[in-house]
Amino acid sequence: MPILKHAHPYLSDHDFACFAHRGGGLEGPENARSTFANAVKLGYRFIETDVQATSDGVIMVFHDDALDPLTDGEGIIAELPHSEVCQANIAGSEPLMTLEEALIEFPDTRFNIDIKTDQALAPTLELVRRMNCLDRVCLASFSDDRLARIRSEMGSEACIGAGPRDVTALKFASWGIPFMRSSAHCAQVPLVEYGITIVTRRFVRYCERRGVAVHVWTIDDPDEMRRLIRLGVHGLMSDRPSVLKQVAIEEGVW
């Protein structure tokens, strides 16, 4: 596998990254403390996660806008104070973590953080600045506007994932079609989007030449994992971290 050259510390010291998607949502409750701990016990260095902000600006590790049906609580996180949100339990048994707790409790883990709402953006940036942990986080979003704000406020200090506009730019450029330039550090992409196959050898090689890592989500089938590793992608995100680990070992990229 070609070695990807990138200056940002999040990407600079490995050829392939195995991500436990939401900690490993098919092997434990998604985004729960115990699920993160299991991924770390398996040897994972990378965890993909999501963040939401409470009404008083506390950043919670959680994917959905609403507490139900994944917890025993009710209501929209953005409309509730932290004092109420922290009483909800994932799968009825585990309190939600704050992002700060996750960063403290798993100090050797690198996090891919999907910022789910505009409300969560500013307090997330304030938190990672205060904790001085930009070397071990990648900030991602499906919102081009949020990513533009991250670039404006954080500059080259932050590792930034590709948004829809960036992925379009990279895909068109891989076809040799002039388009806007992407400034993303990594392209975290599905296999197919709007009927177009994103992850091809040509796309991966183009991104590689640009120093952009290609991380593919969410891959749970072992045969697909093998195919993509052999294609040359730089990382996979899976809800089945034990399966991905075994395949990565067999393929020599763990």
Q: Is 63 a catalytic residue?
A: yes
What is the Cα–Cα distance from 75 to 187, expressed in whole angstroms? 33
Q: Is 234 a catalytic residue?
A: no
Cβ neighbours for 170, distance < 8 A, ≥ 6 positions apart:
162, 182, 184, 187, 203, 206, 207, 210, 212
Catalytic residue among 6, 8, 14, 63: 63
Catalytic residue among 8, 21, 215, 234: 21
Backbone φ and ψ for 95, nearest 5 degrees, come out as -60, 150
What is the Cα–Cα distance from 232 to 61, expressed in whole angstroms? 31
Beta strands in the chain (DSSP E): 17-21, 46-53, 59-61, 89-90, 94-95, 110-115, 137-140, 159-160, 186-189, 192-193, 196-197, 213-216, 235-238
Q: Is 57 helix (H, G, I), strand (E, B) or coil?
A: coil
Tokens 């048994």 map to which residue? 93
- What is the set of active-site residues? 21, 63
